């Protein structure tokens, strides 16, 4: 039974981030900070074409350079030359006679005594290509005249069939139909991809900047042809990820491990920003056609979606991303008739993969644009239209999932109205616009749903473990299989451990992930770390706590039911001692104070043929209101104010929640108006922060006011759900709607760059 809120000593309190001091003082050890005797440095030989056949690879000149210790090609791979977490369609190193499929394909790798020598050697590798016509658009790919892969250009297709779509439209009073496009986004993590591979007498140890160590543990043994128990993966402190370090580090580690395997030396492979941008995955571009029917009173009757996702040259995680796009395409609404079709399409461009929101911001932008357009035509306030159709307990989602608990959707709408002072906000915007000729403001709103964890499509991976050990002095080590990448996981897990054990927070240490301690715990994605690792930590701590209470009750001759442990003190009505004192007694009595915890997703029932069923374990909801200002002469958009309300189940760490929402908003704002990847013939031109624009502190709105709805989830630790991805998801749609409201014309693509907005304004 969960303690009452009034009884909690750590959960829900404002605490200092557990890794803050090390990071502020520069003591955190990122991958480029590691040094070993005799360490070598790696470099890549990348394709010079979007599509070409490799005719020959000459490494002689590179090998002759002083300080070069290895120049490797596909012939030097002792195991399988095949990568891919979901679909094995990507070579580690492209062989002679086969095609490079994008500008980031790797043909050879180099190790040398310095990074400079390695870079020069990589340039000295001579590759002869037969250039081939590339496929550079979804439209070209769908023709299937030229195949990116022999299997065809459509990797996979997914669908939803709920109700009767024809009847839904025939019973609608208003039907809105339009096309939308959401483009690429670069992750822009501060620390680029990096791996350090160290040969050991019994195998290899890999240190890396990564989200998913167990992905790496699968990839490296396959490439090297050795068993998994010979490869240990240790996460180093990770300087940001946002999905970009989910599967990509497996590829980086495979390259690095090959160099270490052949040289028998530690090898550091740390990408430059330019190589990182050219090689690594991006947010998927999605083109979608929406047809949506409403009754006169605003009730949604039918949603039909046809979407195509540009997955790039290789599948990476696209089938799983597509699943989330599918489930979220109809938005956060109770609609009886749904038809969704989405295809994943190969092109000769950078592969796309995981990115915060995982395929949902693109389709939520589209459906939320339709909702605003409907509100305008029906002469209903956008918030009222969303309230009319919002999900609640007893509603069914677009996949016909019956919602039975923790549905704070309506509350987030009501809270967003309250914290934004919505009615007065509309008046102030109207007054501003009446006073200004060349600058106009607009209010944008959005309302979203987010399926927490991996869902029905990822049940095989949806579990997580923990190992908790109380040391003789009362300090505690916590090992988990999920990773800290800046999101604050270590802090919230330390809080869960402290609350459950009854020990003080400062006595808890959550360690970086090490595959030798904890079983495969799935990827650190889908806002699942708090829910899954949190439950695993809680279970392990409860086991240890029960042992401690048993010892205390015996030596004090009291009933176990009367014993509590809080804030470093164990006590019953008449007896007490410190946590440290009772732990020493346990040690002296040979009581083991180490335990494993394990949490797995309950079985979800899902029919892939119809797209119906329990798509996710639970859902988070959010509503956002923004005020944007558009300069009508230049098309420049500024976000003035933002108000957002999130249903998080239970606010375990209010400070961490605030940081996540602020960061997610700014990243979503970047996707909405700033961040544009430009290409020429499939090559990315905007390959550094001089040419790829991300928001700075000067672009942040005057205020980001937030609010949290706590509609607790019974299976979450202390009732919690997730926040990492929902923090970004409402923002692109809200800002796009704000721009549309300001200029009186519908934004149909993101990012809505200055040039795009200006063209919209100038259209007749």
- 181-195 confidence digits (pLDDT tens): 999 999 999 999 999
Provide CB contacts within 8 A for 448, sequence distance 6+.
328, 331, 332, 360, 364, 368, 621, 622, 623, 726, 729, 730, 733
pLDDT tens track for 627-647: 999 999 999 999 999 999 999
Assign 169 a pLDDT band (cuts: 50, 70, 90): very high
Helices (H), ranges, 623-705: 654-669
What is the pLDDT at residue 2?
Answer: 52
| CA dihedral over 655, 661, 662, 664, signed as positive or negative | positive
Task: Return d(Cα 412, Cα 408) in angstroms, integer.
Answer: 6
pLDDT tens track for 433-464: 999 999 999 999 999 999 999 999 998 899 99
Assign 3-state DSSP to the chain and report helix, strand, coil percentages, each to 5: 35, 25, 40
| CA dihedral over 257, 260, 263, 269, signed as positive or negative | positive
Please say if the pLDDT value at position 265 is more than 70. Answer: yes
86: left (phi over 0), alpha (psi -120 to 50) or beta: alpha
Task: Return d(Cα 113, Cα 69) in angstroms, integer.
Answer: 7
Assign 3 a pLDDT band (cuts: 50, 70, 90): low
Give the CA radius of gyration of the chain. Answer: 27
pLDDT tens track for 531-552: 999 999 999 999 999 999 999 9
User: Phi and psi for 181 in degrees, rounded to 5?
Assistant: -140, 125
Q: What is the arithmetic mean of pLDDT over 668-675?
A: 98
What is the pLDDT at residue 523?
Answer: 92
Q: What is the arithmetic mean of pLDDT over 680-693?
A: 97
What is the pLDDT at residue 4?
Answer: 55
What is the pLDDT at residue 7?
Answer: 84
Provide CB contacts within 8 A for 6, sequence distance 6+.
none
Assign 1 a pLDDT band (cuts: 50, 70, 90): very low
What is the pLDDT at residue 363?
Answer: 98
pLDDT tens track for 212-262: 999 999 999 999 999 999 999 999 999 999 999 999 999 999 999 999 999
Which pairing describes strands 286-294 and 300-312: parallel, antiparallel, or unpaired? antiparallel
CB 306 within 8 A of CB 289: yes
Provide CB contacts within 8 A for 571, sequence distance 6+.
563, 564, 565, 577
pLDDT tens track for 286-331: 999 999 999 999 999 999 999 999 999 999 999 999 999 999 999 9
Task: Return d(Cα 310, Cα 154) in angstroms, integer.
Answer: 10
Q: What is the arithmetic mean of pLDDT over 677-683?
A: 97
Which pairing describes strands 106-112 and 154-162: parallel, antiparallel, or unpaired? unpaired
Task: Return d(Cα 407, Cα 410) in angstroms, integer.
Answer: 8
What is the pLDDT at residue 6?
Answer: 54
| CA dihedral over 141, 147, 148, 153, signed as positive or negative | positive
Residue owning tokens 């956060």: 332
Residue 700, Cβ density class (10 Å: 0-12 exposed, 13-18 middle, ≥19 buried) = middle
Class of domain 5-28+463-600: alpha beta
Query: Which percentage of the chain shows pLDDT scores above 90?
Result: 97
CB 457 within 8 A of CB 601: no
**Whether the predicted model's global pTM rises above the 0.95 cut:** yes
Class of domain 286-456+606-762: alpha beta
DSSP states along 336-369: SEEEEEEEEEE-SS--B---TTTTHHHHHHHHHH
CB 455 within 8 A of CB 493: no
Q: How far is CA 539 from CA 4, 117, 521, 576, 593, in A?
A: 18, 51, 15, 24, 13
pLDDT tens track for 85-143: 899 999 999 999 999 999 999 999 999 999 999 999 999 999 999 999 999 999 999 99
Assign 378 a pLDDT band (cuts: 50, 70, 90): very high
Q: Where are the domains of the chain?
A: 5-28+463-600, 34-132+198-269, 286-456+606-762
Q: Which of 716, 671, 277, 216 is nearest to 483 (CA)?
A: 216
Tokens of 385: 């239209």
Task: Return d(Cα 406, Cα 401) in angstroms, integer.
Answer: 14
CB 62 within 8 A of CB 45: no
Residue 719's SS3 state is helix
Tell me whether the CATH fold assigned to 34-132+198-269 matches the one assigned to 286-456+606-762: no
Q: What is the arithmetic mean of pLDDT over 721-734?
A: 96
Element of type H or E holding 262: helix 248-263
Instruction: Pick 34-132+198-269's CATH classification: 3.40.710.10, 2.40.50.140, 3.90.1170.50, 3.40.50.970.
Output: 3.90.1170.50
């Amino acid at each position: 039974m969960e303690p009452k809120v009034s009884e909690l000593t750590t959960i829900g309190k404002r605490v200092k981030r557990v890794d803050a001091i090390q990071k502020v003082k520069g003591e955190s050890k990122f991958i480029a900070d590691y040094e070993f005797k005799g360490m070598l440095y790696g470099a890549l030989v990348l394709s010079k074409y979007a599509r070409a056949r490799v005719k020959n690879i000459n490494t002689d000149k590179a090998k002759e350079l002083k300080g070069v210790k290895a120049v490797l090609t596909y012939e030097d791979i002792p195991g399988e030359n095949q990568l891919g977490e979901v679909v094995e369609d990507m070579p580690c190193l492209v062989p002679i006679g086969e095609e490079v499929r994008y500008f980031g394909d790797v043909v050879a790798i180099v190790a040398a005594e310095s990074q400079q020598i390695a870079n020069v050697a990589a340039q000295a590798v001579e590759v002869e290509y037969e250039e081939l016509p590339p496929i550079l658009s979804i439209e070209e790919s769908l023709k299937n005249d030229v195949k990116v892969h022999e299997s065809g250009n459509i990797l996979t297709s997914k669908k939803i069939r709920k109700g009767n779509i024809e009847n839904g439209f025939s019973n609608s009073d208003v039907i809105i139909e339009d096309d939308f496009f959401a483009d690429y986004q670069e992750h822009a993590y501060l620390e680029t991809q990096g791996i350090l591979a160290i040969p050991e007498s019994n195998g290899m140890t890999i240190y890396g900047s990564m989200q998913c160590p167990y992905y790496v543990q699968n990839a490296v043994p396959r490439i090297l042809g050795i068993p998994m128990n010979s490869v240990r993966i240790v996460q180093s402190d990770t300087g940001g990820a946002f999905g970009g370090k989910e599967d990509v580090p497996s590829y980086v580690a495979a390259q690095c491990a090959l160099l270490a395997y052949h040289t028998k030396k530690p090898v550091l492979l740390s990408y430059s920003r330019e190589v990182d941008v050219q090689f690594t995955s991006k947010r998927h571009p999605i083109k979608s056609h929406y047809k949506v029917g409403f009754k006169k009173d605003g009730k949604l009757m039918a949603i039909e979606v046809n979407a195509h996702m540009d997955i790039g040259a290789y599948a990476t995680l696209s089938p799983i991303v597509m699943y989330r796009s599918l489930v979220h395409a109809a938005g956060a609404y109770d609609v009886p008739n749904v038809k969704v079709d989405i295809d994943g399409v190969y092109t000769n461009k950078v592969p796309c993969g995981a990115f915060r929101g995982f395929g949902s911001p693109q389709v939520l932008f589209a459906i939320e644009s339709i909702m605003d357009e409907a509100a305008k035509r029906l002469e209903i306030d956008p918030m009222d239209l969303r309230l009319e159709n919002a999900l609640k307990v007893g509603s069914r989602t677009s996949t016909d999932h019956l919602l039975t608990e923790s549905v704070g959707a309506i509350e987030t709408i009501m809270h967003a109205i309250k914290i934004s002072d919505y009615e007065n906000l509309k008046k102030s915007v109207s007054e501003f616009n009446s006073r200004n000729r060349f600058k106009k403001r607009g209010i944008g709103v959005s309302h979203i749903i987010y399926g927490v964890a991996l869902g029905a499509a990822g049940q095989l991976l949806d579990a997580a473990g923990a190992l908790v050990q109380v040391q003789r002095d009362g300090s505690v080590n916590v090992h988990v299989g999920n990773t800290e990448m800046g999101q604050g996981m270590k802090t919230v897990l330390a809080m869960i451990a402290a609350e459950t054990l009854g020990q003080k927070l400062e006595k808890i240490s959550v360690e970086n992930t090490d595959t030798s301690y904890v079983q495969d715990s799935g990827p650190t994605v889908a806002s699942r770390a708090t829910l899954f690792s949190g439950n695993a930590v809680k279970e392990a701590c409860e086991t240890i706590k029960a042992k401690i209470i048993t010892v205390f009750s015996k030596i004090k001759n009291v009933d176990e039911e009367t014993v509590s442990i809080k804030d470093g003190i164990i006590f019953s009505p008449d007896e007490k001692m410190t946590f440290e004192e009772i732990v020493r007694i346990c040690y002296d009595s040979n009581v083991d104070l180490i335990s494993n915890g394990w949490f797995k997703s309950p079985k979800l029932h899902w029919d892939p043929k119809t797209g119906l069923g329990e798509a996710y374990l639970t859902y988070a909801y959010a509503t956002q209101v923004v005020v944007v200002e558009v300069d009508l002469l230049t098309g420049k958009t500024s976000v003035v104010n933002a108000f957002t309300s999130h249903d998080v189940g239970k606010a375990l760490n209010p400070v961490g929640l605030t940081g996540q929402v602020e960061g997610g908003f700014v990243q979503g704002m970047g996707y909405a108006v700033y961040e544009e990847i430009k290409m020429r013939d499939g090559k990315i031109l905007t390959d550094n922060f001089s040419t790829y624009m991300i928001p700075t502190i000067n672009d942040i709105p005057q205020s980001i006011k937030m609010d949290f709805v706590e509609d607790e989830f019974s299976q979450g630790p202390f009732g919690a759900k997730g926040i990492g991805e929902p923090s970004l998801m409402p923002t692109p749609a809200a800002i796009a709607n704000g721009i549309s409201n300001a200029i009186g014309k519908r934004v149909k693509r993101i990012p809505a760059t200055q040039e795009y907005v200006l063209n919209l304004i100038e259209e007749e």
